[in-house]
Structure 1
Amino acid sequence: MPLTTLHLLALAPNATISRFLRALSSRGITPLVASKPIKWIIKPSHLSVSTLLDTPWDLLLILPTSTPLPEIYTGRDWVQAHWSITAGVPKALVEGFEAKNQRLLAPREGDVLALTGALGQPRIAPSAQGLELSDELLAWSRDFKLGQRGAVSMLNLLAFNEGQDMHDSYARYGSAFATSIGKRRGGLAKLVGRVVAGQGSGGEDTAGWEEVALAHYPSIRHFVDMLASEDYQEVNHRERLPALRDTCILCTTELDAELGTDKAKL
């Protein structure tokens, strides 16, 4: 399986996202994914808690491990904090990824599925930590202008309870997501991989995460439509939640590889 490294970066005060991406482009580096972190939907409870949550991340990059970030662009002039993790991703997902991803981010007429109506009578939970819809998450989603019509990409980190049966349980959840409960909301796990430790990337995580996944949704409304539904929550509670020792989900919006302008971070 090809190795890909996921980087979370907090940029230096005078750096900007567009300058950083243009600097990479000048070195012939084109990320598989360049995305802006927006909100933790689920926060980690045991692994990498302070590392992930105490830093206001500016940029998520996913690069082939064979294309490391140049040291000059990970120094203090550019980056204040750096966290990374490497995973083996099936070759079929990586091949032709740019074209497939562009079709997802710029869909043609008829590509985007209608909402299922679950938000008409949403299933509400006290917290989103179980990947359920809370009042806070629903209110935030309604105010999230960037994601009302545009796609969102949800970064998932996963660690499993002991036993092969836990991996099997999550695999059943993944199958249901791909064929029914996620698919009918336009959900797609576009990059999925098992963590491969000891790759020596900057800020490499050693906390014990086992898998990473980047899931696409046509809009934030499609994501909360899924969380609000009985069919999703039935599988979530039966297969996903019992399997996980820890997990977190970061909502991001993907960027053009070369941005025109943006404002310096204050």
Structure 2
Amino acid sequence: MPLASIHLVSLANPDTLPSLLKYIKSSNIQPLVTSKPIRWVIRPEQIQASELLTPRWDLLLILEDNKTSQDFMTSVLDPSPYGAKGDFKVVSHWSTTAAVPSRLTKEFRTKTNPSLLHPNAKDVPELTGALKDPLLNKDSQDLSLSSELQQWIGKSEDTLPVKGAISMLNLLSFKTGMKESYLKYGKAFAQTIGAKRGGNAKLVGNLMKGSERVSEEEQGVWHEFALAHYPSLLHFADMLASKDYQEVNQNNRVGALGDTCILCTSELVVEDLMKDGGKAKL
């Protein structure tokens, strides 16, 4: 099973992100994912909470884990802010490595991901109407729709803080013996409650500890990651607001997790920055 490295990068000056993107483009690596972190939907409460929440993350990178990508990240993390690589300087960096099924990485860059990020209009499912009478909770920590999250997302395509497809980075830590319960949630997500809203777990993997997979018996650590696609923030909110989703979420997902976090990111924002030479609004 191929390995992928997942990186969150924080820059001394967020306005230098276009310089970092230019450096990535000029290198000999081809990232699986290059995405702009937007906001936390679920915050980690126990595992690496300070490490993950304290920095202002400017970029999410998911790379095939090999010597080329390792050498590239070494150069990116070089403390020298100037020179051939441009004027960016990394001040915080978080990373992990995961084993990702080859069926997901094969043609991901050339076919799978482009078709998700830039779908034909006819392939994007309509909203189910759940937002007309939403189930609301006091916060979104259990992947419910909170009033604050609903207000941030807005109620129409015109008011969305981020347009188009979004990519949600999930980190998962399972309670001992509860993985099967989460798998039931994952199956329902793939077949009904997520799929009918365009939800797609486009990359998933078991986290690694050296050359071994992190054991589900080991507590206080992340076990898996997932990068979930949604056609828009409204599709994501439609799912959270619905009775059918929350029934499965509360019964099979919430109790299975010892800790989790979800970071909303946008690959389309990065694409716009690359096209506009850094002129797009960050």
Output one character per residue of 1:44-98: Cα deviation in whole Å (capped at 9) or x when no partner: 0100100010100000000001122342211222211100011001000000001
Q: Among residues 237, 242, 247, which one is paired with 2:250 in the alignment?
A: 237
Contact persistence 2:152–2:161 (CA under 8 A): no
What value does the CA root-mean-square deviation take over the aligned residues? 2.1
* Equivalence for 2:86: none
User: Does 2:104 correspond to 1:89?
Assistant: no
Compute the TM-score of the two structures, normalised by the length of structure 2: 0.86
Deviation at 1:197, TM superposition (A): 1.9
User: Does 2:172 correspond to 1:158?
Assistant: yes
Contact persistence 1:18–1:260 (CA under 8 A): no
Q: 1 CA distance for matches of 2:281 and 2:127?
A: 36
Contact persistence 1:14–1:265 (CA under 8 A): no
Contact persistence 2:8–2:59 (CA under 8 A): yes
Distance 1:25 1:137, change over 3 A: same
Please state whether the residue corresponding to 2:63 is helix, strand or coil.
strand
Q: 2 CA distance for matches of 1:222 and 1:14?
A: 29
User: Does 2:71 correspond to 1:57?
Assistant: no
* Equivalence for 1:202: none
Contact persistence 1:16–1:263 (CA under 8 A): no
User: Does 2:160 correspond to 1:145?
Assistant: yes
Larger mean CA deviation between 113-122 and 101-110 belongs to 101-110
Runs of 4+ with deviation above 4 angstroms:
263-266
Please state whether the residue corresponding to 2:123 is helix, strand or coil.
coil
Contact persistence 1:155–1:251 (CA under 8 A): yes
Report the identity percentage.
Answer: 49
Paired AA for residue 89 in structure 1? V
Output one character per residue of 1:164-206: Cα deviation in whole Å (capped at 9) or x when no partner: xx1111011000000000001000000000001237xxxxxxx
* Equivalence for 2:77: 74
* Equivalence for 2:216: none
Deviation at 1:265, TM superposition (A): 11
Contact persistence 2:6–2:95 (CA under 8 A): yes
Deviation at 1:263, TM superposition (A): 6.1
Deviation at 1:13, TM superposition (A): 2.3
Q: 1 CA distance for matches of 2:98 and 2:122?
A: 33
Deviation at 1:251, TM superposition (A): 0.4
Deviation at 1:111, TM superposition (A): 1.2
Output one character per residue of 1:29-55: Cα deviation in whole Å (capped at 9) or x when no partner: 121100000110000010010001010
Larger mean CA deviation between 11-20 and 46-55 belongs to 11-20
Deviation at 1:259, TM superposition (A): 4.5
* Equivalence for 2:184: 172
Deviation at 1:161, TM superposition (A): 0.4
The higher-RCO structure (CA 8 Å, 6+ apart) is: 1
Compute the TM-score of the two structures, normalised by the length of structure 1: 0.91
* Equivalence for 1:203: none
Contact persistence 1:13–1:264 (CA under 8 A): no
User: Does 2:111 correspond to 1:108?
Assistant: no
Q: 2 CA distance for matches of 1:136 and 1:103?
A: 31
Deviation at 1:15, TM superposition (A): 6.4
Structure 1 unaligned spans of 5+: 200-206
Paired AA for residue 250 in structure 1? L
Q: 1 CA distance for matches of 2:189 and 2:257?
A: 16
* Equivalence for 2:214: none
Contact persistence 1:22–1:259 (CA under 8 A): no
